[in-house]
Structure 1
Amino acid sequence: METARHIAERKRKRRVDKEIALASSSTGAIPKRNGIEPAVALSTVGLFIIASSAAVYSMEAILMPITLAIVVGIVLGRAADELERFGLPPIFGGLLLAFLFVFGLSSLVNALLGPITDVAREAPRLAEGVMDRILPFIERFTWLRMALIRNADQNALADTLVKNAGPVLGTVAAGLTPALVQTLIFLAALILFLLGRLQLRCTIILAFARREHRLNAIRIMNATEDALAQYFSTASLIYLALGVMTMVIALVGGLTMAPLWGLFAFVSSFIPYLGVTFMTLSLLVGGLMTHDTLLLGIAPAVAFFLVHLLMENLVVPAILGHRFEVNPFLIFVAIIFWTWMWGAVGALLALPLSLIAMTIFDQVREAPPDRQLPE
């Protein structure tokens, strides 16, 4: 009887195995991961990305100043930690650095506001002067002459815009109120972030239950703060040297307000690609307005472009090394994406946000297993 019972049990197990195999074969050969089909998983991820992008775009007025405050606060907070060696508590050091940052930012805006207003006031006359210097050179080439003829309607449109400058200035003035509100949000978020940075850090760490996860959170936050602080401190010194060189180029090139040209170069260098393009075009326009000779007019722009090219391709990689090397195509896509999302501030935040994402990815990815030599 004992043997018969075992035989019956084996038969029952074979029957159950056959039913399971038949059920699995009837569902098809569609691979699944964590119970979700790959197509459904990809669709879910795609919808999440689209919804997140829409939320970021629609909440620009709030998210943009807060994100900028967090990035600036991380850098200033790490600098405040360094000031603790001199006996200054991190809270007071952070507030002192925040005050210095706000004072420097307001001084920068005041320094640039006057020249920008003068240029805007004299824009039609300056544009006519530049065209008078460029037209004799353009008429030497047939294809450029034909392009000007085709764009005659666009020139008429530009004249219309100049005549209707009043409504345009009214539109610009209407946009100053949101900018003022965002500035206040940025300042308040920066101060509050510096005051509660350590408490916020502890809250994030204690949100994880397991000790291993808490250690990972500490490692990721330390790596992110180190990356941002090291990049901004080193890049600031490099771009400060570039600003001094630009000031010398402006002095030698006969341009007025040479210190402001250096300040423009320093600030614009923090925006990859777009900054150097804007600065080169500005120097080109300034040189053409200053000199009657074409070669002398383009000389400051060419000199700045060559100096910037030399520093970006030799000095920056030699000092920063391979730690901050990000694929240029990814940086370009990030700049386009964040510029579309948040305008000029988005372009400024594109590289820091890319560094944060790259640092987090490097910290969370699993280390490859050690390879063993064949026996």
Structure 2
Amino acid sequence: MSASFAGRGMFKNKTKVDLELQQLLDREPEQPYRSVLDLMVAWSIIGMFIIATSVVIYLLEPILMPVTLAIVVGMVLGRAADQLSRFGLPPGAGGLFLGLIFAVGLFLLTNALIEPVSNLFAAAPAMVEHSVERVMPFLNRFEWARHVIAGADEKAISDLAMANAGAVLGALAAGLTPALIQALIFLAALGLFLLGRTHLRKTIIMALVTRERRLTAIRIMNATENAVGFYFSTASLIYLALGTITGLIAFVGGLSVAPLWGVFAFISSFIPYLGVTAMTIALMSAGLMTHDSVLLALAPAAGFFLLHLVMENLVTPAILGRRLEINPFLIFIAIIFWTWMWGAVGAMLAMPLSLIAMTIFNEVRSHPPERQLPG
């Protein structure tokens, strides 16, 4: 009796196990659906996070933009201050010394550009009117342009151009006060960052728990500062040569205020794609307003474009390409995004921010964190 009872119990347990296995097998077809649903939920959360972050970046532009610019510049100057520490100068004092030199140089450059830029803005309406008068005969050579001009009043076009020029000048004047406030925020943030850079690094490193994470943080910080410092120091020398040659091209081409064109060429070169386009169009417009001959008018713009083409495709890749390789499409997308967010300063920050993101990604990918089993 006991044996038969035990056999029945085993039979019942086996039947129960078989039923549970059958239920698990029946649930297997639902797994792909649930996996896709979980993936959609995860990407939706990521998408909402990206949208919310973009909104915050856009709304906090008056504060985030100068602070971000100060951090990028501070990384470059801080790396240079580390080199000065070999001569017995503390990194904090060396950073402040370099920051003071940078601020004084920026002040002197701004002071030197105020008068020619003010004269340029004052003469902008007359230059626009003169350029319209010069461009109209050139456009009349084309059939499609004649039909367009025939249906429009030349005086109305000139008045519209001058009205828009006035609106542009008004917008620039209205944005002068916020720009000064952001400049003060930038200088204050730069000084404080350089002063507390070493302490900030130690605080971030010691905030991590394990030794492996601390080593990873040190490696990422050093790699990021090295990449940004190498890019700015090398690119500055290349673009300084480009700006000097551009000033000579403007002088030989008969354009007024030739040194100013060199400065604009130096600054615009830090904005990939958009900088060379704007500079070429500006030189072309200035040439058309200066010379009667079309060939002489287009010569400065053509010379600058060929020079920039040689610099960007031969000189820069030969020097920077060995250490810094970034997908041009990603750079283009970054320029569009940061220009939309922060305007011209955002366009200048697109390259260093992309370089920082790429460096962090490469360091994390080449040294993945070790997975520890739960105890």
TM-score scaled to structure 2, two decimals? 0.88
| Contact 1:133-1:294 at 8 Å conserved across structures | no
Change (3 A) 1:139 1:85: same
- 1:82-115 CA-to-partner distances (Å, cap 9, x unmatched) read 1112222211111111111111222222222222
Counterpart-to-counterpart distance in 2, 1:137 and 1:199? 63
Which residue of structure 2 aligns with residue 372 of structure 1?
A: none
Counterpart-to-counterpart distance in 1, 2:153 and 2:162? 14
- 1:156-212 CA-to-partner distances (Å, cap 9, x unmatched) read 376257358777655543322222221111111111000110111111111111111
Change (3 A) 1:300 1:17: farther
Counterpart-to-counterpart distance in 2, 1:75 and 1:322? 20
Which residue of structure 1 aligns with residue 373 of structure 2?
A: none
Counterpart-to-counterpart distance in 1, 2:341 and 2:291? 39
Counterpart-to-counterpart distance in 2, 1:261 and 1:239? 13
SS in 2 for 1:15: helix
Counterpart-to-counterpart distance in 2, 1:126 and 1:319? 40
Q: Give the superposition deviation at 1:244.
A: 1.4
- Is 2:63 aligned against 1:59? no
Letter in structure 2 aligned against 1:196 = G
Counterpart-to-counterpart distance in 1, 2:260 and 2:52? 42
- In structure 1, runs of 5+ residues without a counterpart are 369-375
**Number of paired residues?**
366
| Contact 2:91-2:198 at 8 Å conserved across structures | no
Which residue of structure 2 aligns with residue 373 of structure 1?
A: none
SS in 2 for 1:279: helix
Identical-pair percentage: 60
Which residue of structure 1 aligns with residue 46 of structure 2?
A: 45
- 1:132-167 CA-to-partner distances (Å, cap 9, x unmatched) read 3333322111122234456x4898376257358777
SS in 2 for 1:318: helix
Counterpart-to-counterpart distance in 2, 1:62 and 1:217? 26
Which residue of structure 2 aligns with residue 278 of structure 1?
A: 278
Change (3 A) 1:25 1:261: same
Give runs of aligned pairs for residues 61-210 of structure 1, distance below 5 A: 61-149=62-150, 152=152, 156=156, 159-160=159-160, 162=162, 169-210=169-210
| Contact 2:247-2:262 at 8 Å conserved across structures | yes
Counterpart-to-counterpart distance in 1, 2:270 and 2:295? 29
| Contact 2:280-2:301 at 8 Å conserved across structures | yes
SS in 2 for 1:284: helix
Counterpart-to-counterpart distance in 2, 1:92 and 1:311? 36
Q: Give the superposition deviation at 1:5.
A: 7.2
Counterpart-to-counterpart distance in 2, 1:116 and 1:21? 82
- In structure 2, runs of 5+ residues without a counterpart are 369-375
Change (3 A) 1:8 1:192: farther
Letter in structure 2 aligned against 1:119 = L
Counterpart-to-counterpart distance in 2, 1:356 and 1:295? 43
Which residue of structure 2 aligns with residue 294 of structure 1?
A: 294
Change (3 A) 1:76 1:25: farther
Misfit runs of 4+, over 4 Å: 1-11, 163-171
Give runs of aligned pairs for residues 212-291 of structure 1, distance below 5 A: 212-291=212-291
Which residue of structure 2 aligns with residue 19 of structure 1?
A: 20
Letter in structure 1 aligned against 2:42 = A
| Contact 2:125-2:165 at 8 Å conserved across structures | no
| Contact 1:220-1:360 at 8 Å conserved across structures | yes
Give runs of aligned pairs for residues 329-368 of structure 1, distance below 5 A: 329-366=329-366
- 1:242-282 CA-to-partner distances (Å, cap 9, x unmatched) read 11111221121122222221111111100111111111112
Change (3 A) 1:24 1:215: farther
| Contact 2:57-2:341 at 8 Å conserved across structures | yes
Which residue of structure 1 aligns with residue 371 of structure 2?
A: none
Counterpart-to-counterpart distance in 2, 1:192 and 1:232? 21
Q: Give the superposition deviation at 1:29.
A: 2.4
Counterpart-to-counterpart distance in 1, 2:5 and 2:199? 70
Counterpart-to-counterpart distance in 2, 1:45 and 1:361? 18
Q: What value does the CA root-mean-square deviation take over the aligned residues?
A: 2.8
Which residue of structure 2 aligns with residue 371 of structure 1?
A: none
